[in-house]
């Protein structure tokens, strides 16, 4: 930790330390983690200098007041999510941290290139495993890993999808360490968070207008338009002006706000399973003027619940016969059923191999070193090193069912080890990553907190993404868990145009 | 428009009008407590409960209970029952909660300002109880809530796209108003064997509730003519809170959304029959025969229930075979 003789970070221009009332006066850089704003010397990174100076001139109280106002406005507008299993917490906001995270053009270029490459390989993988199965025959990915995955849908075998696109929308979690960007996981089923990305941008743009303008931040507001364009491209062949709908499980779903928001941004109907019906192999929605044919369904409902006839029979959320219409090619479902097999935490370990296999390229974005407990060596390694590893259940997301070894008590580790031994295939382990930190506003001024980012990639007839991401923050000091359901917050990510 | 969205807007209209009407009734009733005799206040509560088709949890004052303190305690309990009681589906808090639940479902077509207005109105009511408003100024609470609902309608008028959603919002609103007004006037008449037995202040209270007192005074000065007041509240097409005016708006909305289906035609016809009954039969009724007048009003209420069934079957929950 580099500090001056008074123990405080030097001012941006290297002059005398800032006054205590200034935002970054007590900010301590931590060499163990990559700091998004400051170099190890405590000086702001080149692309952050102007922001750092401007913020430093503001009073922390002033920023805190803007932040509180934005959060109140989120609550009033209902920009909320629900945490399952928490009584009385039906509607909570994702707290926003008002200190933006900056990414310069070169960094973004790497992220973007890596994401495009990854999504292309993942789509080719899905087309392959539901088609000829070359990657399995060639022994690159083990057959039992794919076919034994609970997310593998036999019903999808041999089915052709428009443009070969299984994953039309993907939200990839990326973190940064001293070694560069690393992909934590690919969310290929129903990734969420894009509405918070846009809401955070709107809030910051309003409150820090001049600062925003001076930074030449690249725009992300056209996401809704791109999403609609992408979905339209995936319509069944021969449909010129497709009717697109967004299928939601309903108001009690944790991400309902986002479903509503996206439907409005795209200008499409927000439907529930009961609004749709299947007749003669086509999907229709009930409108006040009669039945209207639906061509593309952007579903925010898990595979299991989209059609009680094809998947989980007791589901009340879906539409009977929907999968039948899909198989006939009369409707497009995005993302396609069965994409979950490619974001399974065990299959994740093979994504770099998929990139090499299908594209003949080296992966731009690295994976986290992953030990599969389904393999004897991986299991032994995991059990021997529980105190230093992060262990995750393969089918879980949202930070549920996870053990962070160094932060767990011996009793917790022992109980978890027991679970692993009972069903090894259900677990993977990874080293604890030194996630980068970014300054966040706390009661003591700005303090470093761990962050990640989730950009959203779209794939229709071509790949598109807006230069931005939902940047998640672990608001609790020292915590590595950024998930909203686990007390994480959000930040606006400013991708600079030059 | 998606049927579920149309239904959501329809119910927002119904519940907000019900909440607004409730605020109006209760605030007027509380105002009478300042200077009216105990007996009249008791009659006011009876009319109010009958209009809402509800019985107070502890019953009404028994004869001889006209003690002032008891009456105040009773008013507190009844205002609580009508405003906050969780078991009363038509309490103001429940009406706003239901309207808001429907609004959550259709937020993507409602617009941020309409949603925020309704959400804030609900949060205001959710966070207080009868103790708070009673210790403060109960009138102010009801006025504030009513104003929030009026603000919602104002934003709707100034911002909503005039598609089916707009028409279904007002269809619900005015079906509800028709039903509530017919019920209120009927409950008013039920208090005494004949209309003439009501006190003048009783009639004036009714005019005030229906926001008709200024217009009535303008047209008829201060003359106390129960028959004329009754005609004004039921049959005047220009009075915003008359049965006839509400029916005209129902017919208008139905015409706008009708798509030529047989059931749609039936809904329009039913509304038309109700309107023409007021235009042609109402003036010819025997003004001294309160029973006949009440039967006519109950006819309107019942027709509203059937009209609602027609609307739901035609636009919201039709089967594949009935689809055009």
- pLDDT on residue A18: 45
A425 phi/psi in degrees, rounded to 5: -65, -15
> A76, B259: Cβ pair inside 8 Å?
no
Quickly list DSSP for A316-340.
SSS-TTHHHHHHTTSSEEESPTTGG
CB spacing of A289 vs B164 below 8 angstroms: yes
Single out the residue of A351, A294, A289 nearest to residue A319, CA to CA.
A294
- The answer for A88, left when phi > 0, alpha when psi is -120 to 50, beta otherwise, is left
In angstroms, what separates the C-alpha of B254 from chain A's closest C-alpha? 12
- Convert the pLDDT of each residue in A52-100 to its tens digit: 999 888 888 888 888 888 887 777 776 776 665 554 445 677 888 889 9
Strands A403-404 and A80-81: unpaired
Contact B2 A269 (CB under 8 A): yes
Which of A163-167, A476-480, B301-305 shows the lowest per-residue confidence on average (mean pLDDT)? A476-480
The C-alpha atoms of residue B180 and residue B53 are separated, in whole angstroms, by: 10
- Domain around B78: 1-160
Environment class of B219 (CB within 10 Å of its CB; exposed 0-12, middle 13-18, buried 19+): middle
Shortest distance, CA A64 to any CA of chain B (angstroms): 23
Same domain, B167 and B156: no
Q: Which residues of B touch A251 (CB under 8 A)?
A: 101, 104-105
Q: Are residues B24 and B156 in the same domain?
A: yes
Of the three residues B160, B188, B218, the one that is the final residue of a domain is: B160
> Out of A253-257, A269-273, A277-281, B154-158, which region has the weakest mean confidence (pLDDT)?
A253-257
Domain boundary among B113, B137, B160: B160
Each residue's pLDDT tens digit, A217-258: 999 999 999 999 999 999 999 999 999 999 999 888 888 889
> Exposed (0-12), middle (13-18) or buried (19+): which is A132, by Cβ within 10 Å?
exposed
- How many whole angstroms separate alpha carbon A79 and alpha carbon A81? 7
The answer to whether the beta carbons of residues A302 and A189 sit under 8 Å apart is yes
- Per residue in A297-344, pLDDT (tens digit) is 999 999 888 888 888 877 777 899 999 999 999 999 999 999 999 989
**Record: contact B323-A261, CB cut-off 8 A:** no
Check CB contact under 8 Å for B1 and A291.
no
| Structure confidence by residue, pLDDT tens digits, A162-200 | 989 999 999 999 999 999 999 999 999 999 899 999 999
| Chain B contact residues (CB < 8 Å to A) | 1-6, 101, 104-105, 107-109, 112, 115-116, 119-120, 164, 168, 257, 259, 315, 318, 320, 323-324
Q: Nearest Cβ partner of A260 from B6, B107, B315? A: B107
Q: What Cα–Cα distance (Å) separates residue A315 from each residue in A300, A309, B105?
A: 15, 9, 20
Taking the alpha carbons of B245, B246, B251, B252 in that order, is the dihedral positive or negative? Answer: positive
**B105 chain-A contacts, CB cut-off 8 A:** 250-251
Single out the residue in B160, B175, B203 at which a domain terminates: B160
Q: Could you tell me if B49 and B194 lie in one domain?
A: no
What is the predicted pLDDT for the residue at A232?
97
- Give the closest-approach CA distance of A70 to chain B in angstroms: 14
* CA–CA distance, B312 with B4 (Å, rounded to integer): 10
Q: Are strands A296-299 and A244-247 parallel, antiparallel or unpaired?
A: parallel
- Structurally, chain B folds into a number of domains equal to 2
pLDDT in tens, A456-465: 999 999 999 9
With CB atoms and an 8 Å threshold, state whether A289 touches B168: no
Residue A5 binned pLDDT confidence (cut-offs 50, 70, 90): very low
One domain for residues B35 and B66: yes
Average pLDDT for A134-148: 94
Distance from the A459 Cα atom to the nearest Cα atom in chain B, whole angstroms: 25
Query: Residue A348 gets which letter from DSSP?
Result: G
Please indicate, yes or no, whether residues B67 and B171 belong to a single structural domain of this protein.
no
Tell me how close the Cα of A392 comes to any Cα of chain B, in angstroms: 35
**B224 and B236 housed in the same domain:** yes
Test mutation, A269, A286, A297, chain B, max B CBs within 10 A: A286
What residues of chain A lie within 8 A of the CB of B116, using their CB? Answer: 76-77
Whether B65 and B169 share a structural domain: no
**Chain B residue nearest residue A248, CA to CA:** B105
How many CB pairs below 8 Å do chains A and B form together?
A: 63
Residue range B97-116: average pLDDT? 90
A290: left (phi over 0), alpha (psi -120 to 50) or beta: left
User: A86 to chain B nearest CA, in Å?
Assistant: 20
Mean pLDDT of chain B: 89
Answer whether A258's CB lies under 8 Å from A195's CB: yes
Per-residue confidence (pLDDT) for residue B262, from 0 to 100: 61
- CA closest to B109 among chain A residues: A264
For residue A240, give the DSSP letter: S
Confidence of residue A399 (pLDDT cuts 50, 70, 90): low
Model confidence at A19: pLDDT above 50: no
Establish how many alpha carbons lie within 13 A of residue A53's alpha carbon, considering only the half-sphere containing its beta carbon: 11
B15/chain A closest Cα distance in angstroms: 19
In the numeric block, which tokens belong to residue B270? 């039913």
Distance CA B120, CA A72 (A): 11
- CA distances in angstroms from B238 to A391, B157, B229, B235, B242, listed in the order given: 72, 19, 14, 9, 8
Residue B261 has what pLDDT?
Answer: 63
Using a CB-CB cut-off of 8 Å, the residues of chain A touching B253 are: none
Confidence (pLDDT) at B193: 72
**What mean pLDDT comes out for the span A473-492?**
80
pLDDT, average across residues B303-315 = 93
Q: Are residues B15 and B138 in the same domain?
A: yes
Tens digits of residue pLDDT in B215-255: 998 888 877 788 899 999 999 999 999 999 999 999 999 99
Q: Which H or E run contains A140?
A: none
* CA-wise closest residue to A452 among A28, A24, A36: A36
Instruction: Give the CA diameter of chain A.
Output: 79
This prediction has a pTM of: 0.86
Residues B324 and B189 in one domain: yes
User: Does the pLDDT at position A158 exceed 90?
Assistant: yes
CA distance B139 to A335: 54
Same domain, B47 and B113: yes
Q: Is the CB of residue A475 less than 8 Å from the CB of residue A488?
A: yes
| B288 in Cβ contact with B235 (< 8 Å) | no
Closest residue of B to A291, CA-based?
Answer: B323
pLDDT tops 50 at residue B143:
yes
* ipTM beyond cut 0.90: no
What band does A6 get if pLDDT is binned at 50, 70 and 90?
Answer: very low
SS3 A276: strand
Determine the residue of chain A that is closest to B165 in CA distance. Answer: A288
Specify the long-range contacts of residues B110-113, CB closer than 8 Å, at least 24 apart.
Answer: B111/B155, B111/B159, B111/B160, B112/A77, B113/B155, B113/B159
Q: How far apart are CA A41 and CA B116, in angstroms?
A: 47
Mean pLDDT (whole number) for B76-104: 94
pLDDT in tens, B33-46: 877 777 788 888 88
Q: What is the pLDDT of residues B259-292, one digit of tens each?
A: 656 666 788 899 999 999 999 988 888 877 888 8
Q: Which residues of B touch A261 (CB under 8 A)?
A: 108
The CATH number corresponding to A369-431 among 3.90.1150.30, 1.25.40.390, 3.50.50.60, 3.30.1490.270 equals 3.30.1490.270
Terminal Cα-to-Cα distance of chain A (whole angstroms): 30
More confident position, A373 or A63: A373
CB B204 within 8 A of CB B213: yes
Do B80 and B166 sit in the same domain of this protein? no
Rounded to the nearest 10°, the torsion over CA A346, A347, A352, A355 is 180
Higher pLDDT, B33 or A396: B33
Distance CA B6, CA B293 (A): 35
Let me know whether B155 and B183 are in one domain: no
Domain ranges of chain A: 369-431
Residue A112 near residue A106 (C-beta atoms within 8 A): no
φ and ψ at residue B294, rounded to 5 degrees: -65, -40
- Preferred mutation among B97, B108, B167, B310 to probe A, highest tally of A CBs within 10 A: B108
């Amino acid at each position: 930790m580099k500090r001056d003789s008074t123990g405080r970070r030097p001012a941006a221009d290297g002059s005398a330390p800032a006054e205590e009332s200034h935002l970054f006066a007590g900010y301590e850089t931590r060499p163990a983690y990559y700091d998004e704003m400051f170099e190890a010397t405590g000086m702001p990174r080149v692309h952050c200098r102007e922001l750092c100076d401007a913020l430093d001139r503001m009073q922390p109280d002033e920023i805190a007041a803007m932040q509180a106002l934005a959060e109140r406005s989120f609550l009033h507008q209902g920009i909320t999510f629900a945490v399952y299993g928490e009584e009385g917490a039906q509607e909570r906001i994702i707290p926003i941290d008002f200190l933006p995270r900056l990414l310069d053009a070169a960094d973004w270029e790497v992220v973007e290139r890596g994401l495009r490459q990854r999504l292309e390989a993942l789509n080719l993988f899905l087309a392959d495993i539901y088609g000829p199965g070359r990657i399995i025959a060639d022994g690159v990915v083990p057959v039992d890993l794919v076919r034994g995955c609970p997310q593998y849908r036999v019903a999808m075998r041999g089915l052709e999808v428009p443009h070969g696109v299984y994953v039309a929308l993907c939200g990839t979690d990326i973190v940064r360490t001293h070694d560069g960007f690393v992909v934590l996981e690919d969310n290929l089923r129903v990734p969420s968070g894009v509405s918070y990305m846009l809401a955070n941008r709107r809030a910051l743009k309003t409150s820090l207008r001049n600062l925003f303008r001076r930074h030449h931040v690249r725009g992300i507001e056209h996401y809704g338009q791109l999403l609609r364009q992408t979905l339209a491209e995936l319509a069944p062949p021969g449909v010129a002006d497709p009717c697109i709908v967004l299928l939601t499980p309903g108001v009690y779903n944790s991400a309902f706000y986002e479903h509503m928001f996206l439907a409005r941004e795209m200008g499409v109907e927000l439907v529930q399973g009961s609004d749709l019906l299947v007749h003669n192999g086509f999907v229709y929605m009930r409108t006040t003027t009669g039945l209207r044919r639906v061509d593309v369904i952007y579903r925010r409902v898990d595979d299991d619940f989209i059609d009680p006839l094809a998947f989980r029979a007791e589901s009340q959320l879906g539409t009977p016969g929907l999968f039948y219409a899909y198989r006939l090619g009369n409707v497009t479902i995005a993302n396609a059923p069965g994409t979950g097999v490619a974001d399974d935490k065990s299959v994740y370990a093979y994504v770099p191999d998929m990139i090499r296999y299908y594209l003949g390229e080296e992966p731009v974005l690295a994976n986290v070193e992953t030990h599969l407990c389904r393999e004897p060596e991986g299991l032994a390694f995991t059990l021997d090193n529980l105190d230093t590893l992060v262990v995750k259940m393969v089918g879980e997301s949202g930070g549920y069912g996870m053990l962070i070894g160094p932060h767990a008590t011996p009793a917790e580790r022992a109980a978890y080890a027991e679970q692993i031994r009972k069903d090894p295939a259900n677990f993977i382990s990874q080293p604890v990553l030194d996630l980068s930190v970014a300054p966040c506003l706390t009661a003591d001024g700005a303090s470093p907190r761990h962050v990640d980012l989730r950009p959203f990639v779209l794939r229709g007839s071509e790949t598109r993404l807006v230069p931005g991401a939902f940047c998640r923050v672990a608001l609790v000091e020292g915590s590595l868990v950024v998930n909203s359901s686990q007390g994480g917050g959000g930040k606006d990510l400013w991708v600079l145009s030059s | 428009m998606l049927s579920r969205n149309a239904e959501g807007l329809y119910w927002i209209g119904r519940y907000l009008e019900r909440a607004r009407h409730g605020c109006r009734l209760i605030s007027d009733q509380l105002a009478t407590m300042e200077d009216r005799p105990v007996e009249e206040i008791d009659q006011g509560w009876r009319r109010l409960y009958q209009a809402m088709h509800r019985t107070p949890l502890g019953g009404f004052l028994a004869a001889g209970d006209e003690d002032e303190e008891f009456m105040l305690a009773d008013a507190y309990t009844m205002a609580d029952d009508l405003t906050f009681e969780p078991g009363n589906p038509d309490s103001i808090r429940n009406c706003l909660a239901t309207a808001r639940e429907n609004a959550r479902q259709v937020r993507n077509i409602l617009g941020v300002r309409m949603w925020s207005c309704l959400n804030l109105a609900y949060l205001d009511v959710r966070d207080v109880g009868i103790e708070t408003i009673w210790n403060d100024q109960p009138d102010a609470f009801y006025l504030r809530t009513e104003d929030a609902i009026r603000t919602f309608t104002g934003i709707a008028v100034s911002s909503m796209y005039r598609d089916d959603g707009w028409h279904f919002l007002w269809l619900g609103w005015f079906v509800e108003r028709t039903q509530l007004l017919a019920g209120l006037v009927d409950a008013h008449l039920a208090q005494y064997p004949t209309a003439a037995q009501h006190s003048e202040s009783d009639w004036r209270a009714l005019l005030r509730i229906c926001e008709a007192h200024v217009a009535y005074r303008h047209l008829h000065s201060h003359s106390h003519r129960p028959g004329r007041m009754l005609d004004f509240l039921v049959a005047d097409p220009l009075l915003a809170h008359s049965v006839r005016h509400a029916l005209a708006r129902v017919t208008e909305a139905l015409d706008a959304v009708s798509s030529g289906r047989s059931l749609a035609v039936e809904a329009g016809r039913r509304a038309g029959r109700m309107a023409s009954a007021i235009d042609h039969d109402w003036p010819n009724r025997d003004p001294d025969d309160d029973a006949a007048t009440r039967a006519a009003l109950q006819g309107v209420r019942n027709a509203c229930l059937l009209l609602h069934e027609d609307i739901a079957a035609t636009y919201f929950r039709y089967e594949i075979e009935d689809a055009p």
